[in-house]
Amino acid sequence: MTKPVIGFIGLGLMGGNMVECLQKNGFEPIVMDLNKEAVATVVARGATEAKSAKELAAASDIIMLCLTTSAVVEQLVYGKDGILDGIKEGSVLIDFGTSIPASTRRIGADLAEKGAGMVDAPLGRTPAHAKDGLLNIMAAGEKATFDKVKPVLDVLGENVFYLGALGAGHTTKLINNFMGMTTVCAMSQAFAVADRAGVDRQQLYDIMSTGPSNSPFMQFCKNYAVDGVSDLGFSIANANKDLGYFLKMVEDLGTRAEIAEGTSSNLQAAFDEGMGNGNVPEIFDYFLKLER
């Protein structure tokens, strides 16, 4: 069966490795990115560069986005020479980023008016998993649209979950990141408080890790707070953005999430201190120097 033509926008660490995975599996994607070095790398392996999102969409059966924010996604969809201007009837847009669900649903409705579909499919795991096609993919959208693109999602993901109506993927990812980043903030602060109280951080870890609080996130926090190794691979800036999106989603649902408000406040404060590029467990340093 003929492989669908894939257009891919966003060749960062995750997106670039996803494109490499697609190329290893026989796809010849059309790509776009502001980083021309990243573009040159995938073009050297057989990809083609598009001059605009409109051009890319017009030539693609499946358009994949791996971008940083909902604002960037909306700019590429609705902007001059954007995806909405070029997308073909029957094509599918897949947003692999972490976006605001209300924005996702609005884009999906506008694409539907052009006879195109949308799947929101945020990702779990790391860029290394992306290169090997081992991502966790949380996909949502009309079932027929999901079924159409699932063979390609199976190339990129080891675990592909179908979650229902459009927006459910981004909703699930934001809940997941709220839980994960709140856990990291709480554990990092626990190590900082222990240090101030004169409790050895290694001993605290030895005790806590034998109980139900033990988790991979605790290990990441221990690696930084005790061993000085920062290896989670998710920045304070990204976590801060995701918690902001989570709070916006909660507001749209007509409720509050006070625990998330606390996590967001801590991440924003660390970001304001110039720590945005550090991995999330490095918020330990912010807590360690925090004064009343």
Looking up residue 233, the CATH number of its domain turns out to be 1.10.1040.10
Residue 131, in any domain of the structure: yes
Distance CA 258, CA 279 (A): 24
Angle of CA points 50, 53, 56, to nearest 5°: 50
Residue 1, in any domain of the structure: no
The string of pLDDT tens digits covering residues 251-260 is 999 999 999 9
Are 69 and 153 part of one and the same domain?
yes
Are 142 and 269 part of one and the same domain?
no
The string of pLDDT tens digits covering residues 210-239 is 999 999 999 999 999 999 999 998 999 999
What does 22-39 look like in DSSP terms, one character per residue? HHHTT---EEE-S-HHHH
Q: Is 54 a catalytic residue?
A: no
Structure confidence at residue 197 (pLDDT): 97
Are 83 and 101 part of one and the same domain?
yes
Task: Indicate the residue among 145, 165, 185 that finishes a domain.
Answer: 165
Are 77 and 178 part of one and the same domain?
no
Distance of CA 110 to the CA centre of its chain: 23
Q: DSSP code of 62?
A: E
Task: Indicate the residue among 121, 138, 165 that finishes a domain.
Answer: 165
Are 30 and 128 part of one and the same domain?
yes
Structure confidence at residue 291 (pLDDT): 85
| Stretches in the chain below the pLDDT threshold 50 | 1
CATH classification of the domain holding 161: 3.40.50.720
Structure confidence at residue 220 (pLDDT): 97
Are 91 and 224 part of one and the same domain?
no
Are 60 and 79 part of one and the same domain?
yes
Are 42 and 159 part of one and the same domain?
yes
Asked if residue 109 lies in contact with residue 141, where contact means CB atoms within 8 angstroms, the answer is no
Three-state DSSP class for residue 48:
strand
Domain region containing 116? 6-165
Residue 261, in any domain of the structure: yes
B/e letters for 166-192, b = 16+ CB within 10 Å, e = fewer, are: bbbbbbbbbebbbebbbbbbbbbbbbb
Task: Indicate the residue among 165, 180, 208 that finishes a domain.
Answer: 165
User: Which residue out of 173, 222, 241, 248 is catalytically annotated?
Assistant: 173
Are 28 and 143 part of one and the same domain?
yes
- Report the number of distinct structural domains present in the chain: 2
pTM for the predicted model, two decimal places: 0.93
Are 128 and 209 part of one and the same domain?
no
Measure the N-to-C terminal CA separation of the chain; round to a whole number of Å: 65
What does 91-158 look like in DSSP terms, one character per residue? -EEEE-S---HHHHHHHHHHHHTTT-EEEE--EES-HHHHHTT-EEEEEBS-HHHHHHHHHHHHHHEE
Angle of CA points 72, 137, 258, to nearest 5°: 70
Structure confidence at residue 175 (pLDDT): 97
Are 158 and 180 part of one and the same domain?
no
Are 133 and 38 part of one and the same domain?
yes
Structure confidence at residue 292 (pLDDT): 81
